[in-house]
Structure 1
Amino acid sequence: MSLDSMVAGEAPALCLPHQCEFLSDAWLARARDHLTGALKAAGTAVAPFSMTERFANAPPHLGCPGGLAQWSLCFDGDRVEVGREPVESPDVLVEGDYQAGLALAQVVGALAPGVMARAHREVAHLFGPDAVRLRGQLKDERTAELLGLFHDHMARMTVENPDIAHRARALGVDRHVREVEEHGYTVIERAITPEFADEVREATLRAVRAHGSQQLQWMLYHGPELERLVQNPSLMTLMDASLGRGAVIASISAIRRGPGPGFIPIHTDYSMVPEPYPEFAMTGVGVWALEDWTVESGPTWIVPGSHRERRGPKPGEGMDRGVPIEMPKGSVVYFTHGVWHWQGDRTEPGERITIHSHFNRGILRGLEPKRVDVQMMHRNPPRLGEMLGEDDWFDKLDAHGRDYLRAGHMARLQKFTDERLAELLAG
């Protein structure tokens, strides 16, 4: 069976059978099944209530009339109705932008202290304070608990918006996608809030200090803060555009450094890759600034356009063409295509703490071993599983043959991504 034969059809499925897109027909059907069962089991413990959610600017492939994706739930104490038509005067009305709503719909932990508050904080920072608006309130705690469990149930199967052109524009990173193609790198300023940057910094320092080291690998497994950071939607969009869907984590590492000369010389991240390098990107790295980056703080230096050389730097080459990456706390610099870069000298006091998120094209092995923790998967949406290789067909061969279900899925998803990326770059 060829992969070409797996992408036939005008409207191929863009997720695996156990997954669904936010507010798609499959999402609605699963919501109906879950809520019907949950409310039947709850019986009279839940008072009658109703709610409607509607989000504008839905991706075109969902086929929502006027680009408005919506759903409603009405429970009269006996019957459950779940459908597309809005409820007149619902107890709760949620409105907003589709991509912002999706970001919240993928958060697992609705009933855990502080989880949704932090999620709303990041969504408001990324999309604006009015990107998701809520009116009304639920009548009792039992209803809130039931809907919280429903939210988590759906979040665990809700995938990222597969339309990369639509997603990049909604996130405001379409120009950054083009910059990576042209210069080999880009900077997304304030991709996360300063508060989240502080939370990640604190979690990183806890891990690094416990090991008595200046550098530490396997940072993904050192707390939920790192799990959330790795899935940042803006960075993921750059990764999808440059490395394709199914890109996997190569390593998530931390570096802690004080004043003094930089200890990482000019290099590329294409270790053991023969020259000339491929024309397509094989790896990508997002380096997170957990404090303000200035020349004095010892930032990463990059040689713009060096990816076009398709080779590593020769001794003494490139240093005169480098530019320092200066950016505020909470920003991320992403570079790929074998771009030349090095660590600058730090002349100011204090420490610089960074997280380096390394990603590989899905056909490559990673630097660190994957540990697919069942509990980690349970508290995250499918996006994290994709980056850990759960959605592709590699390492899944058994006595009966290859995993053609996942092979076909990734082939269809990548074909759709290529088509939408071409439209984005052409515009």
Structure 2
Amino acid sequence: MATELDRLRDEGYVVLPEVLPAESLARIREQLDPYLQGEYPGRNDFEGHRSERVYALLDKAPAIAELVGHSRTLGLIDQLLEPNYLLSACLAILLHPGETAQRWHHDDAFVTLPRPRESYSVSTIWAIDDFTADNGATEVLPGSHRWDGAPIVGDRDDGVVVEMPAGSVVVFLGTTVHRGGANRSAGRRLAITPQYCAPWARPQETFTLSVRPSMAASYPQRLRELLGYSIHPPFMGHVDGRHPGKRLDPAFTDAAAGPRSAEFWNDR
């Protein structure tokens, strides 16, 4: 029987159904509500003129940490990206009625190496509301992670609609072509999308600036590393020749960082 990882590698995506409990969903909605009052509308057709997008979530809604560091998703990503990989983006996307479908795209288009190739990012989209064919569920093109050349898709309607109940998550490779669907319903559809990238790639969001150090310090060590408070051996990510973890905690030791950190960064 195919595993979740097998399906992800074969189709380019996999759905993990109902992995988030109702109380977590309620806490996330409560913390996000002040930022979903129409103050952050989409700025172009890709973001969505009838959508709201909220960034820097780990500074605004600490409950999002449960999604970013979820063991089920990280367990898959650990097998797909190099150790010391980073959080590249983390945003909320609220589709209002009347939103149109996005253009087809793949999330690691910033990597300009020729396709077909390995994926240097992995994206997740968490359904905070039910995802349905009518309210703008994500659509994917299975197998598109293997396509040659630039995947310029154009106008097509043969994508697989990723319908899933609230609390579920779809995980897909950065090379997989997908889009947000059109919201033809009378209701709103809320999603959270943490995205992860190779340790040598530049993240889309600069989390060491957008998340206050005091907030970053409150998160578990693994989450701090995802935000950029880590070293990719031998010395990528240092601050003035020192491990960035020492900026959060002067008592930080390399032992606290575990095997994902270079050994000699506790010397100074």
- Which TM-score band (shorter chain)? 0.7 to 0.9
Corresponding residue for residue 22 of structure 2: 194
1:259 corresponding residue in structure 2: 97
Percent sequence identity is 27
Matching of residue 273 in structure 1 with residue 123 in structure 2: no
1:280 and 1:337 in contact (8 A); partners too: no
Does residue 128 of structure 2 align to residue 290 of structure 1?
yes
Q: Does 1:331 align with 2:173?
A: no
> CA–CA distance in 1 between the matches of 2:92 and 2:118?
27
Aligned ranges 1:10-21 → 2 under 5 Å: none
Deviation, 1:223, is 2.1
Contact 2:86 2:225 in 1 (8 A): yes
Gaps of 5+ in 2: 42-51, 244-253, 263-268
Q: CA RMSD in A?
A: 2.9
**Alignment counterpart, residue 215 of structure 2, candidates 363, 376, 381:** 376
Q: Deviations over 1:7-59 (max 9, x none)?
A: xxxxxxxxxxxxxxxxxxxxxxxxxxxxxxxxxxxxxxxxxxxxxxxxxxxxx
Which residue is 2:77 aligned to?
239
Pair 1:341–1:399, CA change in 2 (3 A) = closer
Cα distance, 1:240 vs. partner?
1.3
Q: Report Cα offsets for 1:325-377 as digits up to 9, x if no partner.
A: 01111000011141000111222111111111111111111111122644334
CA–CA separation in structure 2 for the residues paired with 1:209 and 1:394: 39
Contact 1:248–1:359 under 8 Å retained in 2: yes
The 3 A distance-change label for structure 1 pair 327 and 315 is: closer
Structure 1 residues without counterparts, runs of 5 or longer: 1-173, 413-427
Q: Return the offset for 1:380.
A: 2.5
CA distance in 2 between partners of 1:288 and 1:198 (Å): 14
Which residue identity is paired with 1:325? V
Please name the residue that 1:396 is paired with. 238
Alignment partner, residue 134 of structure 1: none
Give the counterpart letter for 1:303 in structure 2. Answer: L
Match of 2:224 among 378, 381, 385: 385
Q: Is the 8 A contact 1:311 1:338 kept in 2?
A: no
Q: Which deviates the most, 294-303 or 199-208?
A: 199-208
Counterpart position of 1:30: none
> How do 1:47-86 and structure 2 match up within 5 A?
none
CA contact (8 A) 1:192 1:330 kept: yes
**Contact 2:92-2:191 at 8 Å conserved across structures:** yes
> What is the alpha-carbon distance in structure 2 between the residues aligned to residue 315 and residue 347 of structure 1?
23
Structure 1 position 263, deviation (Å): 4.3
Q: Which residue, 188, 197, 202 being the options, matches 1:351?
A: 188
CA drift at 1:181: 1.1
Supply the distance in 1 between the matched residues of 2:65 and 2:171 (Cα, whole angstroms).
18
The whole-number CA distance in structure 2 between the counterparts of 1:293 and 1:220 is 23
TM-score in terms of structure 2 length: 0.78
Which of structures 1 and 2 has the larger relative contact order (alpha carbons within 8 angstroms, sep 6+)?
2
Does structure 1 residue 367 correspond to structure 2 residue 204?
A: yes
Measured in 2, the distance between the counterparts of 1:309 and 1:373 equals: 40
User: Counterparts of 2:80 and 2:198 in 1: how far apart (Å)?
Assistant: 9
From the superposition, tell whether residues 199 and 328 of structure 1 become closer, same or farther in structure 2 (CA, over 3 Å): same
C-alpha contact (below 8 Å) 1:312/1:340 kept by paired residues = no
Aligned counterpart in structure 2 of residue 204 of structure 1, from 26, 29, 32: 32
1:69-108 to 2 correspondences below 5 Å: none
Amino acid across the alignment from 2:5: V
Counterpart CA distance in 1 for 2:22 and 2:188 is 17
| Contact preservation (8 Å) 1:275, 1:311 | no
Contact 2:40 2:54 in 1 (8 A): no
* Match in the other structure for 1:410: 260
* SS of equivalent residue, structure 1 residue 238: helix
For residue 291 of structure 1, report the CA deviation from its aligned partner. 1.2
CA distance, structure 1, for counterparts of residue 201 and residue 109 of structure 2: 12
1:397–1:185 CA distance, 2 compared to 1 (3 A)? same
Instruction: Count residues in correspondence.
Output: 237
Superposed displacement of residue 245, structure 1: 2.3
Structure-2 separation of matches of 1:267 and 1:400? 38
Structure 1 segment 302-313 matched on structure 2, within 5 A = 302-313=140-151
Tell me the SS of whatever aligns to 2:151: coil
Question: Of 131, 151, 175, which aligns to 2:3?
Answer: 175
Q: Deviations over 1:384-422 (max 9, x none)?
A: 112012232323164699xxx79994389xxxxxxxxxx
> How many Å separate the matches in 1 of 2:36 and 2:242?
44
Contact kept in structure 1, 2:90 and 2:195, CA below 8 Å: yes
Greater percentage in helix: 1
Q: 1:202 to 1:278 in 2, by over 3 A?
A: farther
TM-score w.r.t. structure 1 length?
A: 0.51
